[in-house]
């Protein structure tokens, strides 16, 4: 299953929850890159300045990382991609990889949210520094300000959730990722979900899509 949508559409929140319910791995390329940056790997050193500018990491780096990840046995029953693919060459390569590995059908959920709400979500987003739980100071605040409800750890703001970088990321989405909507729609794989509703209502809609598909 692939989650498609602009930055701030709720892909991460939804992908995590659907992965938990369906017991399959949640593969967020953004999380993988942040992990590499945090560990100071060579890949992380390459990705860091690109991510901080709001641009996309080159396809060959992203594809190598994904190919290695989906080869692990936990992905055999299926997996959920969050933030990948993000360019047409990535989508075409993923098709090839999935065919080669004998994966079944790909279901693409497109989460649509209007522009004003995207900005509100991105500027208000806070993430638990330990478990990665996602909050929003406007719409989904933690019970205690600045602390995760689950483990009490500090909530942090992503470095690329500043106004200037957000503008770049939305531009990258419009130019490079939006064409994937037509790519998957023309293959009959796309399901549109209204992402403006509350998080649990959106999850229910997505689980319904999975069942019917």
Residue numbers annotated as active site: 11, 86, 125, 158, 169
Binding of ligand AMP by 8 (CB under 6 A)? no
Q: With respect to ligand AMP, which residue has the nearer C-beta, 130 or 144?
A: 130
Alpha carbon separation from 93 to 97, 133, 138 (Å, rounded): 6, 30, 38
In the bound complex, which residue of the shown chain has the CB atom lying closest to ligand AMP? 30
- Binder among 169, 195, 203, 205 for ligand AMP (CB under 6 A): 169
Q: With respect to ligand AMP, which residue has the nearer C-beta, 35 or 114?
A: 35
Measured on CA atoms in the order 35, 40, 43, 48, is the torsion positive or negative? positive
**Gap between the Cα atoms of 150 and 195, Å rounded:** 24
* Contact characters 48-77, ligand AMP, x per CB under 6 A: --xx--x-xx----x---------------
Buried b (16+ CB within 10 A) or exposed e, 150-174: eeeeebeeeebbeeebbeebbebbe
Point out which residues bind ligand AMP (CB under 6 A). Answer: 7, 29-30, 33, 50-51, 54, 56-57, 62, 83-86, 90, 160, 169
């Amino acid at each position: 299953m692939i989650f498609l949508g602009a930055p701030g559409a709720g892909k991460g929140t939804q992908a995590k929850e659907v992965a938990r319910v369906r017991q399959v791995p949640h593969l967020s390329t953004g999380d993988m890159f942040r992990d590499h940056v945090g560990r100071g790997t060579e890949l992380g050193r390459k990705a860091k300045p690109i991510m901080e500018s709001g641009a996309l990491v080159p396809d060959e780096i992203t594809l190598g990382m994904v190919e290695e990840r989906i080869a692990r046995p936990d992905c055999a029953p299926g997996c959920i991609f969050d933030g990948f693919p993000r360019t047409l060459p990535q989508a075409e390569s993923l098709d090839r990889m999935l065919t080669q590995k004998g994966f079944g059908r790909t279901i693409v959920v497109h989460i649509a949210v209007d522009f004003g709400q995207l900005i509100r979500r991105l500027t208000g987003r806070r993430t638990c520094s330990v478990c990665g739980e996602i909050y929003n100071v406007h719409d989904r605040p933690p019970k205690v300000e600045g602390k995760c409800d689950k483990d009490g750890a500090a909530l942090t703001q992503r470095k690329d959730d500043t106004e200037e970088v957000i503008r770049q990321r939305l531009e990258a989405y419009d130019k490079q990722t939006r064409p994937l909507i037509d790519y998957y729609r023309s293959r009959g794989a796309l399901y549109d979900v209204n992402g403006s509703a509350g998080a649990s209502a959106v999850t229910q809609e997505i689980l319904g899509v999975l069942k019917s598909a």
